[in-house]
Amino acid sequence: MALIKPHGGGNLKPLFVMDEAQRADLAKEAMSLPSITVSSAAAGNAVMLGGGYFTPLDGYMTKADALGVAKEMKTASGLFWPTPVLNMVEDAGSIKAGDRIALRDPNVAGNPVLAIQDVTAVESFTDDEMAMMTDKIYRTDDTAHPGVAAFNASGKTCIAGPIKVLNYSYFDKDFEGTFKTAYEIRADMEKLGWSKVVAFQTRNPMHRAHEELCRMAYNDLSCDGILIHMLLGKLKKGDIPADVRDACIRKMVELYFEPNTVLVTGYGFDMLYAGPREAVLHAVFRQNTGCTHLIVGRDHAGVGDYYGGFDAQTIFDDEVPAGSLDIEIYKADHTAYSKKLDKVIMMKDAPEGHTMEDFVLLSGTKVREMLGQGIAPPPEFSRPEVAKILMDYYQSIDK
């Protein structure tokens, strides 16, 4: 059986320039073009466009596209899309429609050229339009929300137009073997003979509950494989760095999953913390990697208490029009270790008579305290080999 079709029903559309000679010519041309250093968000968008994750988009959205996507999850042409993909600047200077410009990377020393853009429009948003987009995408205007703060810090002017991507920023170098494009993941799945694949999104190390959740979905859906797909871009203060997370997840998969049932990969994008809207974006680009299902659990892509526990699930029922996506959602409840049953279960499936005391439940704060003191969380909560990696990390930052 073939893999699921990319979003839009056509072929995958990576915007990375595959031909080496052509890429070298464009890099040379870029030296003579007007250039701007883009925001970290715009750089992440370029990396995702380059890797085919944002198929079928061909570049940064216009103002009309962005407003339509914010309001109704549709571009001006009617394509279903959940979050604006923008190149926002504070001041576009003399850049105008018809220009060809070089986009420089804010996240790499020396700001090398990341992509070349053919500018189709330079447009500014009003304060009211920025407020509307913020409210629709993040469901809050609280500037303490890290996504709201980042979205409103890049300026109010968007530079729209198609791009040609020349590199993958720091991701392929810093996360060699983990960072993968959508087309590389598809190729890996085809090689393994997979066609029914469930994706697990993470920005954290995986505890026993996450591990079992992947196993439950794999078994319930009779899948060929699991894609553990971790975010490698910028996070909020206090989140665990990607290299530590990567080591934890690889150790867990190596020791506790059957060989050739899991692909451990990562993608180059900054976390939006946009809760429900980001869950839908996750579904779009997981479909583009070839996944048929995406696990969406409690507070998926959330932060603080801005979203209800299951808002990221109900958006697929209440707001995503039928037929917009081919990927399906595997809805997960909170999972935890039951001392009574001696295994991890979804809490909603607990037999009658189970109380909260029957579960091994630890807050993130409590776990961080334990790890920082060199105390391993109970094995029902975290695999000892994973806890060891985390203890070493927390003790290194406390010194």
DSSP string, 290-332: T-SEEEE-TTTT--TTSS-TTHHHHHHHHTS-TTS-SSEEEE-
Q: What is the pLDDT of residues 280-316, one digit of tens each?
A: 999 999 999 999 999 999 889 999 999 999 999 999 9
- Residues 290, 243, single domain; the answer is yes
- Residues 148, 238, single domain; the answer is no
3-state secondary structure of 43: helix
- Report the CATH number at residue 205: 3.40.50.620
Among the listed ranges 40-49, 60-69, 77-86, 377-386, which one has the minimum average pLDDT value? 377-386
- Residues 383, 294, single domain; the answer is yes
Amino acid letter, 374:
G
In a domain, 8, yes or no: no
Q: Domain ends where: 126, 151, 172?
A: 172
In a domain, 77, yes or no: yes
The number of beta carbons lying within 10 Å of the beta carbon of residue 237 is 5
How large a percentage of the chain has pLDDT more than 70?
A: 99
The end-to-end CA distance of the chain, in Å, is 53
- Residues 183, 108, single domain; the answer is no
Number of domains composing the chain: 2
Asked whether the predicted pLDDT for residue 399 surpasses 60, the reply is: no
Asked whether the predicted pLDDT for residue 242 surpasses 80, the reply is: yes
- Residues 140, 239, single domain; the answer is no
- Residues 165, 203, single domain; the answer is no
Contact at 8 Å (CB) between 123 and 160? yes
Q: What token pair was written down for 255?
A: 């020791």
- Residues 193, 151, single domain; the answer is no
Q: What is the pLDDT of residues 60-91, one digit of tens each?
A: 999 999 999 999 999 999 999 999 999 999 99
In a domain, 388, yes or no: yes
What is the Cα–Cα distance from 134 to 151, expressed in whole angstroms?
A: 8
- Residues 162, 195, single domain; the answer is no
- Residues 183, 92, single domain; the answer is no
- Residues 246, 233, single domain; the answer is yes
3-state secondary structure of 95: coil
What is the Cα–Cα distance from 227 to 230, expressed in whole angstroms?
A: 9
Q: Domain ends where: 142, 172, 202?
A: 172
Among the listed ranges 129-133, 217-221, 358-362, which one has the minimum average pLDDT value? 358-362
Cis amide leading into 6 (omega within 30): no
Q: Domain ends where: 115, 150, 172?
A: 172
Regarding beta strands 328-331 and 293-296, do their DSSP bridges make them parallel or antiparallel, or are they unpaired? Answer: parallel
What residues are labeled active site? 203-204
Q: What token pair was written down for 253?
A: 């998969």
Contact at 8 Å (CB) between 59 and 119? no
In a domain, 15, yes or no: no
In a domain, 11, yes or no: no
**Range of the structural domain that residue 311 is part of:** 175-398
- Report the CATH number at residue 158: 3.10.400.10
In a domain, 288, yes or no: yes
Taking each helix axis from N to C terminus, what angle separates 242-256 and 384-398, rounded to the nearest 10 degrees?
A: 160
In a domain, 221, yes or no: yes
In a domain, 24, yes or no: yes
Regarding beta strands 157-165 and 113-118, do their DSSP bridges make them parallel or antiparallel, or are they unpaired? Answer: antiparallel
- Residue in this structure with the two tokens 């979804």, named with its chain if needed: 346
- Residues 214, 240, single domain; the answer is yes
- Residues 36, 53, single domain; the answer is yes
